Amino acid sequence: MKERLTLDGDSQPFWKTKTLEQLSPEEWESLCDGCGRCCLIKLEDEDTSEVYTTKLACSMLNVRTCQCKDYANRFSKMPDCLQIDVKRARELKWLPPTCGYRIVDEGRDLPWWHPLISGSPETVHQAGIAVSSFAMSEKRVKEENYWRYIIPDLSTEEQQAAPEQPRQRKERVASSGRSR
């Protein structure tokens, strides 16, 4: 029997009744809204350990659709791509508050634009949540200039002042969300 995605036995959506640990693989995948925010290049200041987000997207990301160009083989093709699991969903401070995993873990309800609510992946773009509205591929920029593309912190409501050029290293992650 095909697994039901949205409702449990009490007619409650699964994201209201389950913890992250209790989600089936299919439910886990469906919580990813496909925004692409976790595929933006992060820079870590080696002196302060401060992590800054840039508007530069992983070279494997289709910036227009926010889909990974080879999601099934992403770890072999992009060795520093990380899979988001329950532990990382809780520990990675830079995950945006709009991320479906953070929303469920914090006991909030999914917003109108989430595909599980709207029924369409397009609403993530329409709401301006997807990085398609501002991101550009890292392929267009020399690595020593990545710091010039630092953007305000996406993980809080407050904006984070761009630093002087940090001693940088790259970090990237990928959701374990739906197949792209």
Binding site residues, ligand SF4, CB under 6 A: 32-39, 58, 60-61, 68, 74, 78, 81, 84, 95-96, 99-101, 172, 174-175, 177
- Nearest approach in angstroms of CB 126 to ligand SF4 is 15
Three-class SS of the chain: CCCCCCECCCCCEHHHHCCHHHCCHHHHHHHCCCCCHHHEEEEECCCCCCEEEEEEECCCEECCCCEECCHHHHHHHCCCCCECCHHHHHHCCCCCCCCHHHHHHCCCCCCCCCHHHHCCCHHHHHCCCCHHHCCEEHHHCCHHHHHHHECCCCCCCCCCCCCCCCCCCEECCECCCCCC
- Nearest approach in angstroms of CB 78 to ligand SF4 is 4
* Closer residue to ligand SF4, CB minimum distance, 100 or 166: 100
* Closer residue to ligand SF4, CB minimum distance, 150 or 173: 173
Close Cβ partners of 10 (under 8 Å, ≥ 6 residues apart): 17
- Nearest approach in angstroms of CB 62 to ligand SF4 is 8
- Nearest approach in angstroms of CB 55 to ligand SF4 is 14
- Nearest approach in angstroms of CB 122 to ligand SF4 is 15
- Nearest approach in angstroms of CB 40 to ligand SF4 is 9
Q: What's phi and psi for 109, nearest 5 deg?
A: -95, 150
